[in-house]
């Protein structure tokens, strides 16, 4: 396990935690750990317990949908400075997609159970995290809508 | 560069022979055209278009996608989406079509000198921007950072793939390509092209942006540019409307108080931002 002071630094340098109060950051760091995935390694599968969420420190993570009888479809790629895995905050806390490292990827993962427990007691912490997660979710929703529109498809491809 | 009409009568097409056809994608092809009368000087500015006439079928506006510094041939990349372009897709080398132009306001690439350049485009929207890219790369020292953000439907739908790879290999240009969806064999970006803006590095206060693609893509790309502190008067867009005469007579391409054919297709965004989101326009 990496020392908390290193994790503190990783968190404070990550854009998701920009301008966050140092005390709150320290509380979050208590639930954090560094993780490393080789290219093609699965980080989590759809349906798994959403017991962690992730900050990308380096590398690329692909967000994939399992389509029965077909190859997985890549829906999004998450890069350095971005986050993924918000199912930890939404009951019944199950991942809704597969996450795979495209290349060697370094993440900071946060223990969801630990965070949920702390958020229940410390509403300021809960507010800080939700304030940062909701814009990410809104942005992804908006991007998904644009993807669904299939704006580059020709009328022939769409028919 | 100067705008020089091929013909003095704007409605009368000249005859051009297809010198070469390149199949770019399953529904997209590029025609290299040479004038039948032997003329070899077709000056145009990046972002301008010609009206291409398929005899017996109809006429369509198609952006010029070749190098503005090479004025001996005209290059047009065309997507087979309607009756005219579908007929053009069946043409062979040596066949003759009508052509009149060039028309329209160009990308103001010379006014952008000294600035960082951010180009956001998707699908066949890369074709009207390719002449601007050629111009910028030919005059590379006159510009700051050059960023090209390109989106396609799938990896198989990436236009000018070899050229994108060549540009990506340059040390003085940042090229990011993304696709809307892909299989695991694609190791590049997946997601919509406006997402790439926040990952790109440029100086927002000294940036000129050029955006071309489906209007909804441009809408989100402009929002992303605005979020990155690029103001509307630094953004240029290429609009598409139903153009018929191409010289502002018929009114088919009216866009608010503008005609896209003669006041556009390239507009500075602050000049059309009020009508850009009006559904009826």
Q: Predicted ipTM?
A: 0.84
Q: Mutate which of A70, A151, A153, A159 to disrupt the B interface (most B C-beta within 10 Å)? A: A151
User: Which residues of chain B form CATH 3.40.50.80?
Assistant: 116-238
**pLDDT score of A158:** 56
Q: Name the DSSP letter for residue B199.
A: G
Tokens representing residue A88 in the block? 């930890």
CATH number reported for the structural domain that contains residue A138 in this entry: 2.60.120.10
Computed over every residue of chain A, the mean pLDDT equals 89
Report the 10 Å Cβ neighbour count for B91. 16
| Interval A21-77: pLDDT, tens | 989 998 999 999 999 999 999 999 999 999 999 999 999 999 999 888 888 899 999
User: Which of A63-72, B49-58, B269-278 is predicted most confidently?
Assistant: B49-58
Average pLDDT of span B124-152:
97
- Looking up tokens 């994790």 gives A7
Hey, are the CB atoms on B184 and A62 less than 8 Å from each other?
yes
Tokens representing residue B257 in the block? 């108080």
Report yes or no on A104 lying in a domain: yes
Hey, are the CB atoms on B194 and A157 less than 8 Å from each other?
no
**pLDDT score of B189:** 94
Average pLDDT of span B237-247:
87
With b meaning 16 or more CB within 10 Å and e meaning fewer, what string describes B176-209? bbbbbbbeeebbebbbbbbbbbebbebebeebbb
Q: Mutate which of B26, B125, B159, B184 to disrupt the A interface (most A C-beta within 10 Å)? A: B184
| Interval B194-227: pLDDT, tens | 999 999 999 999 999 999 999 999 999 999 999 9
Q: Are A142 and A135 in contact (CB under 8 A)?
A: no
CA dihedral B68, B71, B73, B74 (to 10 degrees): 40
- Residue A11: pLDDT band (50, 70, 90) is confident
Computed over every residue of chain B, the mean pLDDT equals 92
**pLDDT score of B65:** 97
Distance in Å, alpha carbon of A138 to nearest chain B alpha carbon: 13
Range of the domain at A114: 4-149
What topology does CATH give the domain B116-238? Rossmann fold (3.40.50)
Distance CA A126, CA A146 (A): 30
Residue B199 forms contact with A (CB below 8 Å): yes
Report yes or no on A120 lying in a domain: yes
Hey, are the CB atoms on A72 and B183 less than 8 Å from each other?
yes
Q: Are B80 and B28 in contact (CB under 8 A)?
A: yes
Asked if pLDDT for residue B7 goes beyond 80, the answer is no
User: Which residues of chain B form CATH 2.40.30.10?
Assistant: 14-103
Asked if pLDDT for residue B188 goes beyond 70, the answer is yes
Distance in Å, alpha carbon of B220 to nearest chain A alpha carbon: 9
Helix (H, G, I), strand (E, B) or coil at B125: helix
Closest-approach residue (CA) in chain B for A155: B81
Report yes or no on A53 lying in a domain: yes
Query: Which class is domain B14-103?
Result: mainly beta
Residues 6+ apart with CB under 8 A from B80: A154, A156, B27, B28, B29, B86, B88, B89
- Residue B240: closest CA among B203, B215, B275: B215
Asked if pLDDT for residue A3 goes beyond 60, the answer is no
Query: For residue B29, what are the β-bridge partners?
Result: B23, B78
Asked if pLDDT for residue A157 goes beyond 70, the answer is no
C-alpha distance from residue A141 to each of A46, A75, A83 (Å) = 18, 12, 14
Report yes or no on A158 lying in a domain: no
Specify the length of chain B in residues: 281
Q: Mutate which of B125, B159, B180, B197 to disrupt the A interface (most A C-beta within 10 Å)? A: B180
Structural domains of chain A, count: 1
């Amino acid at each position: 396990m990496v020392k908390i002071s290193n994790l503190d630094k990783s968190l404070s340098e990550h854009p998701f935690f920009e301008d966050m109060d140092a005390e709150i950051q320290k509380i979050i760091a208590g639930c954090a750990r560094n993780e490393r995935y080789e290219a093609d390694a699965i980080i989590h599968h759809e349906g798994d317990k959403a017991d962690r969420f992730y900050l990308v420190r380096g590398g690329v993570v692909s967000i994939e949908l399992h389509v029965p009888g077909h190859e997985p479809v890549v829906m999004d790629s998450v890069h350095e400075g971005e986050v993924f895995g918000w199912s930890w905050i939404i009951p019944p806390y199950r991942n809704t997609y597969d996450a795979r490292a495209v290349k060697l990827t370094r993440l900071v993962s946060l223990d969801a159970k630990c965070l949920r427990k702390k958020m229940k007691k410390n509403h300021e912490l809960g507010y800080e995290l939700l304030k940062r997660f909701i814009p990410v979710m809104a942005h992804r929703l908006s991007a998904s809508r644009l993807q669904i529109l299939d704006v580059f498809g020709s009328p022939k491809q769409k028919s | 560069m100067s705008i020089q009409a091929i013909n003095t009568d704007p409605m009368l097409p000249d005859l051009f022979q297809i010198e070469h056809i390149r199949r770019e994608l399953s529904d997209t092809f590029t025609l290299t055209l040479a004038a039948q009368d032997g003329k070899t000087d077709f000056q145009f500015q990046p972002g301008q278009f010609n009206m291409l006439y398929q005899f017996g079928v109809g006429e369509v506006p198609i952006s010029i996608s070749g190098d503005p510094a090479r004025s001996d041939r005209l290059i047009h990349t065309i997507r087979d989406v309607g009756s005219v372009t579908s007929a053009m897709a069946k043409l062979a080398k040596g066949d003759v079509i009508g052509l009149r132009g060039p028309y329209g306001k160009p990308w103001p690439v010379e006014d952008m000198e000294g600035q960082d350049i951010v180009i956001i485009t998707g699908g066949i929207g890369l074709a009207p921007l390719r002449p601007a890219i050629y111009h910028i790369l030919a005059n590379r020292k006159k510009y700051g950072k050059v960023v090209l953000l390109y989106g396609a439907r799938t990896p198989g739908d990436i236009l000018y793939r070899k050229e994108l790879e060549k540009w990506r290999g340059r040390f003085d240009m940042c090229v990011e390509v993304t696709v809307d969806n892909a299989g695991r064999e694609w190791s590049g970006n997946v997601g919509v092209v406006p997402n790439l803006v926040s990952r790109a590095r440029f100086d927002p206060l000294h940036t000129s942006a050029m955006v071309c693609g489906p209007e909804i893509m441009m809408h989100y790309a402009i929002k992303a540019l605005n979020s990155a502190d690029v103001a509307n008067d630094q953004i240029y867009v290429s609009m598409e409307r139903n153009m018929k005469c191409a010289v502002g007579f018929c009114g088919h391409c009216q866009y608010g108080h503008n005609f896209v054919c003669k006041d556009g297709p390239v507009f500075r965004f602050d000049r059309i931002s009020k009508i850009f989101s009006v559904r009826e326009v």
